[in-house]
Structure 1
């Protein structure tokens, strides 16, 4: 781990001392209101472990996505990888292949976003982010076994407001422009329009072969929302948004090259050095630049001259009706969410033109939720509702292998494998929760949700011979190969049992109960104990290469959670401390195993236990100084996981011993038994500390200083827990300075992130087809941005 120099550390400490020494009378903290139980409540009254951060706070610290926001929240981590994003809460995350559901479901204004890629488009004009930990199956539904980020967008205002904001980040040549207009259109209609456009012209990873700094990106999002008071008792909230993104190049680095000869081509540190491809160090391991073909074969160069692209768009429309009746409120949310994207990977991630992968994904989801929420204040408060969702998912992948030296005897210069999944699903649920106000200080909450889901799909794969190179972003099938030849080539590319086209079906139901007891021991202290169960739905492996249809189906996983917590106000309301201690048990845990070559195996292989605690606090030390911080601890352990995916070296050793050929064989033999071990993306300790200081400048201006320090313990960045893929513990520093008039009409900001230029990676894997070589997804280094905002 790279540590910041002592001079800077002393400066930071001295600054904190000066700020803390400001002798100005404190004032009470502003109340935080959340919707974690489907109604507006004070954070201090909700018997759930929740961390909350406002959209304005994230913007002021330069956070642009959920991945960066997770640095501030204990026991919560988001990472991007070559297949899809992974969201973890309390050590539990989702499988990588495109057919899988998330263990952590995202909700935006009550609309479920269950696909990993949708986590990238949730930060537009955000009011607040609530991260709910532990199973949320009763009120939020399936695929929230580990928890649920609950996001609320900003609503239209009655008074006219408008803002234009321009930001320029210098390190990566990244301009951003955003703005909104909000106000009343009539006595009963209010509207808000928001847009954001952002470009990054230079990335943080040098691609030596293409002479480019990757990734480069362009994105655009817009949202139109409207509040309509239809009658005195009936209102509607209408929201439509569109997003568009285009990413070229990727921040992947090969951090270790193997001395083991591959069946396709040799890759070694010495060989790459002779080609002039060794270009630096990351975490003390050698890294190289991707894209070179030393054998003069097909390179797969893209139009933009990159070895990766990811481009797509999406739309979401939602209408929320609220009908106020004497005993309570009827709420109906009707929504449609859809997206599509194309993605190309240089699938060997290195300097050899061996494998390319072109993927496309299309998703459509329609949902409706109707619920009744009683008024509060009586002996019984309750919520009851119905939910229905239908979704269509189409996934296709085209993997192209280029190995003339290996296939020349067959009259081929390459192979092409096409896999696909066309899936339909229907889900309906009935749910309810009752709060019994036993006394003024004691409350009992009991709830449950019954869910029924049916999925059907066609999943298949076919292998073709290639006799001429084609651009990978314009895939064209070659000649389909006969099954005997496919079987002969299986050890080379792990095709499985051969070409197949299978119809799959899955029907499941689940009951997710919850219960909690709250006790207000004083006006300032609430204690609670809770029990909850949740589940993640079963599904189909879009990347299944086996002919047996049952090999593509996996069952649901279940989570049971026990939690003790306290929410405490201190120092006359100027400070708060919230703490939760949890114990979670997972049964039939879904796991994804990379085969070591070019496929994934998904199944219900593991039992696991996760236990630990979260501690959040904030203190208005003075009228000028707000301090906040949190600490998270996780002890995650697989209770039984004998059939874990193997490392590349383990697979190669097995092959040399004649015990098997594929990663599936290695897993079946139990060579990489992870029983008693942790999970990927699980730092044992995480912590964050932040200070916000405001100083009056003259009579008309103020200066705000925001400083935060975020710590992560070491973690394995890949599921097989290969020791070569450990990200060391690290500390990242961020700071912002904001200056403007007290009227708030304009402000100027200087925003820096990762001030110590810490080098870290969020994802790692074996390099496909090259045993014991490893790649990582590098995270950004230091950034420095200036921002100007003007409000009308």
Structure 2
């Protein structure tokens, strides 16, 4: 299967389909009001306030007004969520995460676009443009979503074509030469067919300061991405809808995103030991923290493409709806980088494709029973080559040619809700998942006549194979969910027990006796699945017309959590994943929205999280029991206000928000270095004028007024770096609708 072209996508529009469950939302006789929103978290439409799941939903308009243009900014509105840039996106929900961004690794949180699971974290760094809403489900979703949803689900839903002409344009410009611009055109082609075209440009310079500007090796732009999305909706009757979405993106820029650990820490202690000495946090100035003083070995560059097509068919027959959801996606990655703080050059080439197919049958209506059953198939295949120059000896390339790596998942599932008494419902669901993973590859050392860097490689002389990286493994698991909810006079009250599962896998090498040169025992080669059982209860109250109050309390039994670290286990640096015995997670999430007056709104949130290891001894003398999981602050909170001043038929909106997070761990497991991020705050302000009938808007904003550098990752050793989130951003944004 070769790269999709736009010609293929346009041709496919004439032949194919879909329509998300959100399309049926308008037929659900549930109209949102007072800040409520229609969601599809249960694969059927319901109001957020009536959905018995701990979840957050952000509308597309709110994304624009809040200036949220990429996934890393979602943590500003979603409790106990962290999304950071590592080797792709690393999503942490309630302390549950994965740091394995390799071709064989899986995330713990399922990242989806229009219900399509995106397997590679590198493909998840998408720009938010022409979005209907984003839904974030917290906790395992092992029944309806299934694959790799131990932590939860992030689902981005794009705007469908509409049966009326429309167009809009939005642009944001800020410091660091940041430009995010979107143009959308919606074209009806009769009463039953409509098309939508949306295009986006997302560019900015690097936040890191180049400490060796005279060497001619630059750090900017950090990203220079362009994306186009084509959608077609065919709806010949209220009972049948057919939608196709095709997209193509070019992702360019400089992937350098880390600085020396010494920028932020002194007295860095590493190495196996029974104690847990911390380094000293320097609290550097903003400029000192962002300075990369080391000379770079080569010009780092990213030149990637990502494209795909997806479709969904909905056909309703009375109280029964048949849904098919299918997709095919391809990615190509070509990246030149500098490891650590820049002294060693490396390059990566990768080709990936994935396909998925889901068939669901849902029964609904006015009766007490709501039910759905379905089946799911997913397959991913990739070939990669990652090489590090002059690491082990001059004029050599240490690397990992791996092809193919294959992942396959087959699942069947069902879930039913029954109203056992007026306003009281029981829900039960079950899913059977079967996973296969395999890989063929090697760890090698290639010799050349000369090597300067990745741009300057001489004649190939020969290859030494350190080890063969051949492995194959199958896993299976039954996951389930049971819950009860009650529509009380104040609002929804719910409780549930649910389970999640993520398949195991393998490290580099091959099992003793399985082939020439294979010398690893199975216990060292393979790692087991991770599983999670969540106990949760909560409420979604509308105390009055002016006050909404939500709360959730939860406890997790988390077993076999997969922990990844870069070690020298294979003759050079390679990633090794192992299972920790267990972890426990307890938490409380509270949020409120208060419409104090007609023009004055207050939003509040307070979260408590105690995510810690239960049983984990990486070495016999080192016991992690009771230590906190990474990126899991015990306390976090949000206070925001919004004040509207009418101006004729238009309005001016003043908005201010401060978010705080307590101290959290950033432990480097490979080196037993116990980095951390101290308690911090982030304050944002904006002022927006919106013209009558929302014809256009103009705004000015400032984000992270404190100019704090919040650490998102830390490591020591030869390639140790520290990464951080956005510094202070200021700018303007404007938009117009037709």
Question: Normalising by structure 2, what TM-score?
Answer: 0.86
2: CA distance between counterparts of 1:100 and 1:680? 18
Q: 2:477 aligns with which of 478, 496, 510?
A: 510
State the secondary structure of the residue aligned to 2:62. Answer: helix
Aligned match of 2:166? 161
Aligned match of 2:225? 219
Aligned match of 1:759? 709
CA separation of 1:481 and 1:280: change in aligned 2, threshold 3 A: farther
CA separation of 1:285 and 1:783: change in aligned 2, threshold 3 A: closer
Whether 1:499 and 2:466 are equivalent positions in the alignment is yes
Any conservation in 2 of the 1:134–1:146 contact (CA below 8 Å)? yes
Greater alpha carbon shift after TM alignment, 391-400 vs 419-428: 419-428
RMSD between superposed Cα atoms in Å: 2.8
User: What displacement does 1:129 show?
Assistant: 1.3
Aligned match of 2:389? 400
Cα deviation per residue 1:679-734 (whole Å; 9 max; x = unaligned)?
1111112222222222112x233111121111121222344396662111111111
Greater alpha carbon shift after TM alignment, 430-439 vs 538-547: 538-547
Any conservation in 2 of the 1:161–1:181 contact (CA below 8 Å)? yes
CA separation of 1:55 and 1:723: change in aligned 2, threshold 3 A: farther
Aligned match of 1:441? 423
Cα deviation per residue 1:421-445 (whole Å; 9 max; x = unaligned)?
5212222111111111001121100
Q: 1:179 aligns with which of 179, 183, 187?
A: 183
Aligned match of 1:660? none
Structure number with greater Rg is 1
CA separation of 1:204 and 1:40: change in aligned 2, threshold 3 A: same
2: CA distance between counterparts of 1:260 and 1:148? 36
State the secondary structure of the residue aligned to 2:709. Answer: coil
Aligned match of 2:297? 300
State the secondary structure of the residue aligned to 2:653. Answer: strand
Whether 1:712 and 2:667 are equivalent positions in the alignment is no
State the secondary structure of the residue aligned to 2:633. Answer: coil
Matches within 5 A, 1:716-727: 716-720=665-669, 725-727=675-677
User: What displacement does 1:624 show?
Assistant: 1.4
Aligned match of 1:90? 94
Q: 2:534 aligns with which of 543, 561, 586?
A: 561
Any conservation in 2 of the 1:70–1:78 contact (CA below 8 Å)? yes
User: What displacement does 1:199 show?
Assistant: 2.1
Aligned match of 1:366? 355
CA separation of 1:179 and 1:97: change in aligned 2, threshold 3 A: closer
1: CA distance between counterparts of 2:612 and 2:359? 39
User: What displacement does 1:301 show?
Assistant: 2.2
Aligned match of 2:322? 330
CA separation of 1:161 and 1:542: change in aligned 2, threshold 3 A: farther
Any conservation in 1 of the 2:667–2:674 contact (CA below 8 Å)? no
Aligned match of 2:506? 540
Aligned match of 2:4? none
Aligned match of 1:586? 558
User: What displacement does 1:764 show?
Assistant: 1.1
- The alignment covers a number of residue pairs equal to 680
Any conservation in 2 of the 1:108–1:150 contact (CA below 8 Å)? yes
1: CA distance between counterparts of 2:547 and 2:509? 51
Whether 1:521 and 2:503 are equivalent positions in the alignment is no
Any conservation in 2 of the 1:420–1:543 contact (CA below 8 Å)? no
2: CA distance between counterparts of 1:59 and 1:118? 22
Cα deviation per residue 1:529-586 (whole Å; 9 max; x = unaligned)?
1000110112233699995384443221111111111111112x32211111111111
CA separation of 1:451 and 1:415: change in aligned 2, threshold 3 A: closer
Whether 1:55 and 2:67 are equivalent positions in the alignment is no
Cα deviation per residue 1:626-683 (whole Å; 9 max; x = unaligned)?
222322221111111101xxxxxxxxxxxxxxxxxxxxxxxxx445432221111111
2: CA distance between counterparts of 1:564 and 1:741? 43
2: CA distance between counterparts of 1:368 and 1:89? 26
Any conservation in 2 of the 1:255–1:288 contact (CA below 8 Å)? no
2: CA distance between counterparts of 1:546 and 1:671? 30
Aligned match of 1:636? 611
Matches within 5 A, 1:659-674: 669-674=619-624
State the secondary structure of the residue aligned to 1:105. Answer: strand
Whether 1:376 and 2:342 are equivalent positions in the alignment is no
Cα deviation per residue 1:83-113 (whole Å; 9 max; x = unaligned)?
3321001101113340210100012211112
User: What displacement does 1:147 show?
Assistant: 0.6
Unaligned runs of 5+ residues in structure 1 are 1-26, 263-278, 293-298, 303-307, 483-497, 644-668
CA separation of 1:215 and 1:280: change in aligned 2, threshold 3 A: farther
CA separation of 1:420 and 1:789: change in aligned 2, threshold 3 A: same
Any conservation in 2 of the 1:223–1:242 contact (CA below 8 Å)? yes
Whether 1:783 and 2:722 are equivalent positions in the alignment is no
CA separation of 1:312 and 1:478: change in aligned 2, threshold 3 A: same
User: What displacement does 1:176 show?
Assistant: 2.9
Any conservation in 2 of the 1:525–1:566 contact (CA below 8 Å)? yes
Cα deviation per residue 1:479-509 (whole Å; 9 max; x = unaligned)?
4466xxxxxxxxxxxxxxx712243111111
2: CA distance between counterparts of 1:582 and 1:320? 34
Any conservation in 1 of the 2:109–2:151 contact (CA below 8 Å)? yes
1: CA distance between counterparts of 2:468 and 2:122? 27
State the secondary structure of the residue aligned to 2:229. Answer: strand
Aligned match of 1:652? none
State the secondary structure of the residue aligned to 1:60. Answer: helix
Matches within 5 A, 1:615-630: 615-630=590-605
CA separation of 1:213 and 1:464: change in aligned 2, threshold 3 A: closer
CA separation of 1:685 and 1:606: change in aligned 2, threshold 3 A: same
1: CA distance between counterparts of 2:286 and 2:664? 13
Any conservation in 1 of the 2:450–2:458 contact (CA below 8 Å)? no
Cα deviation per residue 1:428-478 (whole Å; 9 max; x = unaligned)?
111111111001121100000111122222132112345522431566785
User: What displacement does 1:226 show?
Assistant: 1.6
Q: 1:423 aligns with which of 380, 400, 405?
A: 405
CA separation of 1:621 and 1:337: change in aligned 2, threshold 3 A: farther
Greater alpha carbon shift after TM alignment, 720-729 vs 71-80: 720-729
Any conservation in 1 of the 2:450–2:457 contact (CA below 8 Å)? no
Any conservation in 2 of the 1:180–1:193 contact (CA below 8 Å)? yes
1: CA distance between counterparts of 2:455 and 2:446? 17
1: CA distance between counterparts of 2:283 and 2:533? 46
User: What displacement does 1:740 show?
Assistant: 3.1
Any conservation in 1 of the 2:530–2:559 contact (CA below 8 Å)? yes
2: CA distance between counterparts of 1:328 and 1:708? 45
Whether 1:188 and 2:192 are equivalent positions in the alignment is yes
* Poorly superposed stretches of 4+, deviation over 4 Å: 209-215, 257-262, 282-288, 412-415, 473-482, 542-547, 721-724
Unaligned runs of 5+ residues in structure 2 are 1-31, 271-281, 511-516
State the secondary structure of the residue aligned to 1:59. Answer: helix
Q: 2:699 aligns with which of 749, 758, 771?
A: 749
2: CA distance between counterparts of 1:240 and 1:34? 23
Matches within 5 A, 1:120-159: 120-121=125-126, 123-159=128-164
User: What displacement does 1:282 show?
Assistant: 5.4
Q: 2:546 aligns with which of 574, 579, 582?
A: 574
Any conservation in 2 of the 1:62–1:752 contact (CA below 8 Å)? no
